[in-house]
Every structure is written in structure tokens, then in C-alpha cells.
């Protein structure tokens, strides 16, 4: 099976994107996984609500992804909320940095009930503002890019979400 060079997994906090990315990376056994939140957490002190800082870190993530591609680590799995038009901007920058990269984007959007249960079940320190999570979750479907696949993973395990992603990458 031929996979794209870059697999983007986005969604609201609590949507299951990080877990799906971990399962995907484990299943593939090769490539790289870039968690944009891990890059943001390197800033001292990080301001999680600063949108300009987030945009700057997304530019940093483009450089990290392009670096992994130059080192022939494929696919690079990129994980972030990518709210608003940030995914479009990220992809435009990635094309500038690595023009021939094939990219597939996936948005995880569980039902409100599933999202709420996940957010409320998060350990201390995990993002848990239900109002913001719901807004970001509802924005996902309204801001899909051409070719991006929306996955309702309300009743899916992370492994089942990965099944959907892998099938889509394989053309199914």
C-alpha cells in the first residue's frame, strides 16, 4: 500500500486525534509523528491562547515536517487542532517548503456526547474547556478543505479510526 508523504490528523481537543496518531504510527512502524502541541510546549512560558504564537509554531512544524521528508521519513503524521484557516495556511507553507509532498488530511469529529465524555475523562492538565471543545468540534465540518475526509469517530476506537484512515489512504 502506498501512503501519502504527510498525513494530517486534526480535530478539537478530546476528538481522539493524538491517540489515533499514536496507533497509526505504531501500526505503520515507520515514518515520523509531529504533535504541534509538543512543539508549543517547548516555549517557556507557553501561552496556549495566543493565536499568533500558535501560527508561528505551525510554521516551525512545517520546517520539522519538511526536514523529516528530506530525511526520507514517510509518512509524517501531523497532529493539531488546526482551527480556523490554519490547516490551509499550514498546507500552503508546506507546499512552499516541500513542493512534491503528497498530503492527505483527516478531521476527527465525534458527537457532542462522545466529545463531552472524552473531555470530562481527561486527566488533570489536559485541556477541558467543554465550551471551546464543542465550538472547535462543530467548526471542523464547516471548514473542510477539498479532499479532506471527515470522520465521525464517536463510536470508534483509536484503532478503528486508523482503519478508516488507512483505507482512505489506500484509495478505499
| Integer Cα distance of 22 and 28 in angstroms | 10
Nearest CA to 138 among 111, 167, 113, 118? 111
Q: What are the tens digits of pLDDT across the range 129-140?
A: 899 999 999 999
* pTM listed for this prediction: 0.95
DSSP state letters, 56-103: HHHHHHHHHHHHHHHTT--PEEEEE--TTTHHHHHHHHHHHHSTT--E
Q: Tell me what percent of the residues of the chain surpass a pLDDT of 90.
A: 87
Q: What are the tens digits of pLDDT across the range 29-47?
A: 999 999 999 999 999 988 8
Q: Could you tell me the pLDDT band of residue 172, with boundaries at 50, 70 and 90?
A: low
Cell of 172: 478505499
Q: Is the peptide bond before 75 cis (omega within 30 degrees of 0)?
A: yes
Q: For 65-85, what is the mean pLDDT?
A: 96
Amino acid at each position: 500500500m502506498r501512503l501519502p508523504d504527510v498525513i494530517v490528523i486534526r480535530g478539537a481537543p478530546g476528538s481522539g486525534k493524538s491517540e489515533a496518531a499514536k496507533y497509526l504510527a505504531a501500526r505503520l512502524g515507520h515514518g515520523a509523528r509531529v504533535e504541534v502541541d509538543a512543539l508549543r510546549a517547548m516555549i517557556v512560558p507557553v501561552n496556549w491562547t495566543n493565536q499568533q504564537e500558535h501560527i508561528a509554531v505551525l510554521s516551525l512544524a512545517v520546517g520539522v515536517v519538511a526536514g523529516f521528508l528530506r530525511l526520507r521519513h514517510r509518512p509524517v503524521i501531523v497532529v493539531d487542532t488546526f482551527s480556523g484557516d490554519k490547516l490551509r495556511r499550514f498546507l500552503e507553507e508546506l507546499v512552499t517548503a516541500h513542493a512534491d509532498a503528497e498530503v492527505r488530511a483527516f478531521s476527527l469529529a465525534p458527537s457532542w456526547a462522545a466529545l463531552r465524555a472524552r473531555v470530562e475523562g481527561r486527566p488533570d492538565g489536559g485541556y477541558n474547556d467543554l465550551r471551546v471543545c464543542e465550538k472547535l468540534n462543530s467548526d471542523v465540518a464547516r471548514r473542510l478543505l477539498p479532499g479532506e475526509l471527515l470522520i465521525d469517530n464517536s463510536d470508534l476506537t483509536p484503532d478503528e479510526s486508523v482503519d478508516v484512515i488507512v483505507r482512505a489512504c489506500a484509495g478505499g
